[in-house]
Structure 1
Amino acid sequence: MTELTGTLWVAGGGALGAYCRFQISAWFAAWFGKGFPYGTLFVNVLGSFIMGLLVGAIRMDAVPFIPWHDFIGEGFLGALTTFSTFSMDTFAAFRDGQPGKAVTNVVVNMVLCLCGTAFGFFLMVQ
């Protein structure tokens, strides 16, 4: 695969991931309000789960590393998940005098994302 082809796989996956993140975040905000960043939490946990599935599938030779790692791992999941938004939401909670909300956001994101990755991986390698 050429460098241009790899770049196109990443760009295509990124465009799809960004679109999905925007839609998912908008849906969560409409349903649950903006009191807690549920949309960001959901896309991060979902992305972690999908990454676990992808890495497990590649390890089991169920899918080839290239182009799937480029399209899904680098592109789609890179745009779907959002560490910068997670960081901003946490900072905003601290700034607004809501340290409990900030700490809850950190703990819930870390625990659920790690569990999502592990669950996806173990589903694929079992």
Structure 2
Amino acid sequence: MLGAWLRWGLGLWLNPRFPGVPLGTLAANVAGGYLVGVAVAWISARPEIPPEWRLFVVTGFLGGLTTFSTFSAESVGMMLRGEYGWAALHTTWHLGGSIVATALGILTYRALA
């Protein structure tokens, strides 16, 4: 729930700055991807951490922060408006950005550990 509130706040803060470009969702997904990478690397290095905590942090908080459904609805909305280039770019930013951010989160943890 806390992650979802944070995502909502990002949308309220960032989306009005560039109408038509849902930056709040992108920020939530990329930042969430980075934090998932850090969390997964940190938890993996500590086998004594109960699996429930991993579920709480990664699936609960960070799963609430990130959103595949909103990103999908935004992409489809762009396609329905005939904005195919924006839809392709939007999809690339979300998927590529989240994957790269997750890898960077893992690398950050490893560099600092």
Q: Is the 8 A contact 1:60 1:124 kept in 2?
A: no
Instruction: Give the AA of the match of 1:18.
Output: A
Question: For 1:1-126, what aligned pairs fall within 5 Å after superposition?
Answer: 15-30=1-16, 32-61=17-46, 64-126=49-111
- What 5-or-longer segments of structure 1 have no aligned partner? 1-14
CA 1:50–1:29 in 2, change beyond 3 Å: closer, same or farther?
same
TM-score normalised by the chain length of structure 2: 0.90
TM-score normalised by the chain length of structure 1: 0.81
CA 1:91–1:107 in 2, change beyond 3 Å: closer, same or farther?
same
Report the Cα distance in structure 1 between the residues aligned to 2:25 and 2:48, rounded to whole angstroms. Answer: 28
The CA deviation at 1:40 is 0.6
Superposition RMSD on alpha carbons, in Å? Answer: 1.6
Report the Cα distance in structure 2 between the residues aligned to 1:48 and 1:108, rounded to whole angstroms. Answer: 12
The CA deviation at 1:45 is 0.3
SS, match of residue 19 in structure 2: coil
The CA deviation at 1:53 is 0.2
The CA deviation at 1:62 is 8.6
The CA deviation at 1:37 is 1.2
Q: For 1:30-55, what per-residue CA distance to the aligned partner results, in whole angstroms no more than 9, with x for missing partners?
A: 3x133111111100001100000011
Report the Cα distance in structure 2 between the residues aligned to 1:65 and 1:51, rounded to whole angstroms. Answer: 17
